[in-house]
C-alpha cells in the first residue's frame, strides 16, 4: 500500500476538522499552500476510518513534540477553493476565510494564476518585474517567467541575481503601480530580497532547457556570479549527499511511481543509495519496476525530479534533513 504523503495527511486532517475549523486553519496558510491543499482535498474519495485515525494520531504526536505551533498569517483568495471544492462548499469556507477582505498589491498577485500575472507585468521595466517576482513564492515566480520570451526571462533573472535588496521607498512606488504592496516603513532597513540565493531558488523550479538558457546569459554577463548561483542550486544529483536518515525521511514523503520516473534519469550510484535505504523487499521491487519501466520522456523525468526536490527543500526548511555540500542547513 502506498504510504500517505504529507499533503495527503494534511488534506485528510482538514476534511476531518469540518468546515468551520478548516476555515480557521486556512486563514494562516499562504496562497500556494491553499492551492495545493485545496486541490488535494478535492481528490480525496472514500477515506478509510483507519486512515483517518492514523492521521489524527500522527498529528497529535507531532504537536506534542512542539511547545508552540508558529503560523504566518496571510490573506486569502477566492478562486482556489471554488475550483477545488465546488461553489457551494467553497462559498461557505470563503465567507469565513476572507471575512470581506480584499487582497491588494503584490498580495493579490499571489492569488492570481501565473499566466494572468505575466500578462499584467510583462510590459513593465525588467527591473520592476524582478522586484515583483522576488516577493512571490519561488515556484510561482518560475511559472510566471515561463510565460515570458527567452530574452525577457533571461534579463529578469539576471536582474534578480544582481538585486541588492529593496528600499522601502521603492516598495511604496511599486505599491502605487500595483495598488498596494507591502506596508512601507521609513525606519526599517531595506528588505533583504533578491540576490544570488533568490535567483538560484527560482532556477531550481525551471525546466532544464529554460535553466540552461538563463545560465548561459548570466555566464556572459558575469561568470563568477553564474558559478555562485550554481553553487546555491540544489539539483537531483545532490540527493546523494543527504545522509541515510534523511533519505529514509524523504522516501516516506515520495510516491513510488514518482520515484521510479525520477530515477530513470539518475546515476547508478544515486539509485544504489536509494535502494540501500529501503527494506530489502521494497528495494528489490523498486529495482524490478525500474527495469521494467519503458522509455520515459526527459521532460517527464525532470518534472518528477523537480517535485522530489521541492519535498527535499521543505524537509530541509523544517530542519528534518540537512543538505550536504552547501554549507547551509536549509533552502526555501
What pLDDT sits at residue 27? 78
pLDDT in tens, 162-191: 888 777 777 767 766 676 433 333 333 345
- Spatial separation of the C-alpha atoms in residues 192 and 97, rounded to whole Å: 30
- CATH placement of domain 236-317: 1.10.220.30
Residue 24 vs residues 7, 73, 241: alpha-carbon distances, Å: 18, 11, 39
Alpha helices of 3-71 — where are they, by DSSP H? 6-17, 19-26, 31-43, 49-65
Three-class secondary structure of residue 326 per DSSP: coil
Reported as a single tens digit per residue, the pLDDT across 190-236 is 455 678 888 887 887 777 788 888 888 888 888 888 888 877 777 78
Alpha carbon 61 to chain centroid distance?
25
Q: Which residue has the higher pLDDT, 58 or 73?
A: 58
All three cell numbers of 137, joined, read 513564492
Q: Which three cell numbers stand for residue 188?
A: 526599517
Angle at 324 between CA 319 and CA 327, to 5 degrees: 85
Instruction: Give the Cβ contact number of residue 317 at 10 Å.
Output: 13
Q: 54-68, 106-120, 241-255: which has the minimum mean pLDDT?
A: 54-68
Element of type H or E holding 126 = helix 126-133
**Please, which residues bridge with residue 166 across strands?**
191
| Dist CA 153 CA 146 (whole Å) | 8
Q: Has residue 154 got a pLDDT over 70? A: yes
CATH topology classification for 105-232 = Annexin V; domain 1 (1.10.220)
Place of cell 524523504: 250
pLDDT for residue 215: 87
Q: What is the mean pLDDT of the chain?
A: 76
Share of the chain above pLDDT 70, in %: 76
pLDDT in tens, 268-325: 899 999 999 998 888 888 888 888 888 888 888 888 888 888 888 788 878 888 775 4
pLDDT of 103 over the 70 cut: no
Average pLDDT of span 145-165: 90
Helix locations, 134-187, DSSP H: 138-145, 150-162, 168-178
Length of the chain equals: 332
Q: Which residues, in sequence order, are CB contacts of 31 under 8 Å at separation 6+?
A: 74, 77, 80, 110, 111, 137, 140
Instruction: Tell me the C-alpha distance between 321 and 315, whole Å.
Output: 6
Cell numbers at 279, concatenated: 527494506
Contact criterion met (CB below 8 Å) for 324 and 243: yes
End-to-end CA distance of the chain: 31
pTM for this model (two decimals): 0.40
Cα-based torsion angle of the residue sequence 308, 311, 316, 318 in order, rounded to the nearest 10 degrees: -170
Residue 192: per-residue pLDDT: 54
Q: How many whole angstroms separate alpha carbon 34 and alpha carbon 111?
A: 10
Helix (H/G/I), strand (E/B), else coil: 31: helix
> Domain extents for the chain?
6-98, 105-232, 236-317
Matching fold, domains 105-232 and 236-317: yes
pLDDT at 74: 36
Q: How confident is the model at residue 58 (pLDDT cuts 50, 70, 90)?
A: confident
Amino acid at each position: 500500500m502506498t504510504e500517505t504523503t504529507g499533503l495527503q495527511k494534511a488534506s485528510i486532517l482538514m476534511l476531518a476538522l469540518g468546515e468551520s475549523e478548516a476555515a480557521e486553519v486556512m486563514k494562516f496558510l499562504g496562497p500556494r499552500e491553499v492551492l495545493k491543499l485545496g486541490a488535494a482535498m478535492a481528490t480525496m474519495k472514500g477515506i478509510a476510518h483507519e486512515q483517518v485515525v492514523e492521521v489524527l494520531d500522527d498529528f497529535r504526536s507531532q504537536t506534542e513534540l512542539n511547545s508552540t505551533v508558529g503560523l504566518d498569517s496571510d490573506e486569502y483568495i477566492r478562486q482556489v477553493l471554488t475550483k477545488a471544492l465546488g461553489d457551494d462548499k467553497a462559498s461557505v469556507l470563503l465567507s469565513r476565510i476572507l471575512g470581506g477582505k480584499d487582497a491588494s498589491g503584490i498580495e493579490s498577485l499571489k492569488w492570481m494564476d501565473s499566466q494572468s500575472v505575466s500578462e499584467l507585468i510583462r510590459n513593465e521595466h525588467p527591473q520592476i518585474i524582478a522586484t515583483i517576482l522576488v516577493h512571490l513564492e519561488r515556484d510561482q515566480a518560475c511559472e510566471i517567467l515561463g510565460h515570458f520570451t527567452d530574452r525577457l526571462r533571461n534579463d529578469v533573472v539576471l536582474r534578480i541575481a544582481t538585486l541588492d535588496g529593496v528600499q522601502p521607498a521603492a516598495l511604496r512606488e511599486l505599491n502605487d503601480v500595483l495598488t498596494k504592496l507591502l506596508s512601507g516603513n521609513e525606519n526599517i532597513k531595506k528588505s533583504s530580497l533578491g540576490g544570488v540565493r533568490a535567483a538560484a531558488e527560482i532556477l531550481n523550479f525551471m525546466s532544464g532547457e529554460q535553466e540552461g538558457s538563463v545560465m548561459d546569459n548570466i555566464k556572459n554577463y558575469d561568470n563568477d556570479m553564474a558559478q555562485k548561483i550554481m553553487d546555491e542550486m540544489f539539483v537531483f544529483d545532490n540527493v546523494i549527499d543527504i545522509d541515510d536518515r534523511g533519505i529514509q525521511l524523504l522516501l516516506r514523503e515520495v510516491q513510488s511511481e514518482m520515484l521510479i520516473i525520477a530515477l530513470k534519469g539518475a546515476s547508478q550510484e544515486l539509485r544504489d543509495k536509494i535502494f540501500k535505504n529501503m527494506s530489502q523487499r521494497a528495494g528489490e521491487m523498486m529495482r524490478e519496476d525500474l527495469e521494467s519501466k519503458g522509455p520515459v520522456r526527459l521532460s517527464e523525468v525532470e518534472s518528477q525530479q523537480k517535485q522530489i526536490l521541492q519535498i527535499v527543500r521543505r524537509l530541509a526548511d523544517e530542519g528534518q534533513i540537512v543538505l550536504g555540500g552547501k554549507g547551509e542547513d536549509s533552502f526555501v
